[in-house]
Structure 1
Amino acid sequence: MTIPWNALFGGALLGVSATLLLLFKGKIAGISGILSGSILSTADKNWRVQFLIGLVAGGWLTNWLVKPDLSGIPTQYASSMTTMLLAGLLVGIGTKLGNGCTSGHGICGMGRLSIRSTVATFTFMFVAAITVYIRLHIL
């Protein structure tokens, strides 16, 4: 069995960054909450902007330093741009209805032993499994 070191290291970095943000700022590292906090108009926009810059810069820096094998990443998609935009819109609506996204509930909320986040994460994963099954076996 091969250990997925990149995924393990990336997951550890997510956990550490979420923990540091919670400890030093008292904020939850849920991306939807960071973005929906209106970066352009809130008084606490500095940490939000810094966090988002760190996300992009971290990806860029890792790509520059490590030169990962990106051959497995698709460059062409079977879905149209309209379908992908609609899917993104539906994800945004679901995120708003669920009071957070997978990073907020799955990483931060479950790490705080939040029952609401545990239920939300279970719901995300259950619906994702049903969606994959329908997509692969029915459509």
Structure 2
Amino acid sequence: MTQSMWFPNGALPLGWEHYLFGGLCLGAGVALLFVLTGLIGGMSSVYSTTWSWFVDRPFFQQSSLTGSRVWRVAYAGGLIIGAAAWFVWSGQPTRVAVSTPTWQLFVGGLLVGYGARLSQGCTSGHGICGLASLSRPSLVAVVTFMATAFMTANVMWRLVGV
């Protein structure tokens, strides 16, 4: 598998600038959140925090979840609003054709959610916030995420040419 197989002439399909801009915005956003409030902005906690409004089980009623649900839901809402603003501003299409069956997306979401809770954080929490704070567990988590992604991509490429 060569880079030219994925991208003609080794170039990214839409250029590299918007990836750099997006990375800078993510870094600035989590840095500002931490500097201004002392809060760490991972996203997997939003799921559990949101459920804390509806589920009375002890796990969901931990003070760390119930005490942070307002800002976490606002944080997630900001990401959604930011994405919507980007689509409006950039003129990019807002619909994406997905050829994957809904049940596979659902199962994949459950597995990713379970893995995020198992590793005590998601890729954004460990990869952006954890690495920025020089957290060793986050480094281990990110290396594990990336190794698994590389292996999965290579297996899928060899099995079905995807």
TM-score by length of 2: 0.75
Q: The residue matched to 2:39 in structure 1 has which SS?
A: coil
Q: Which residue of 2 aligns with 1:24?
A: 36
Q: Which runs of 5+ in 1 are unaligned?
A: none
Q: Which residue of 2 aligns with 1:83?
A: 104
Match of 1:129 among 136, 139, 150: 150
Q: Which residue of 2 aligns with 1:117?
A: 138
Task: Work out the number of aligned pairs and report it.
Answer: 136
Structure 1: 4+ residue segments shifted above 3 A: 38-41
Confirm or deny that 1:49 pairs with 2:68: no
Could you say if the C-alpha distance between residues 39 and 10 of structure 1 is closer, same or farther in structure 2, counting changes exceeding 3 Å? farther
| Identical positions, percent | 35
CA contact (8 A) 1:39 1:48 kept: no
Structure of greater relative contact order (alpha carbons < 8 Å, 6+ residues apart): 1
CA shift digits 1:119-139 (9 cap, x unpaired)? 100000000000011111034
CA shift digits 1:46-65 (9 cap, x unpaired)? 21122112111111111112
Cα offset for 1:98? 0.5
CA contact (8 A) 2:50 2:73 kept: no
Match of 1:11 among 19, 23, 26: 23
Q: Which residue of 2 aligns with 1:101?
A: 122
* Structure with max Cα Rg: 2
Q: For the aligned residues, what is the CA RMSD?
A: 2.1
Q: Which residue of 1 aligns with 2:56?
A: none
CA shift digits 1:70-112 (9 cap, x unpaired)? 59x85031x3211221111111111111110100000000011
TM-score by length of 1: 0.87
Q: Which runs of 5+ in 2 are unaligned?
A: 1-10, 54-65
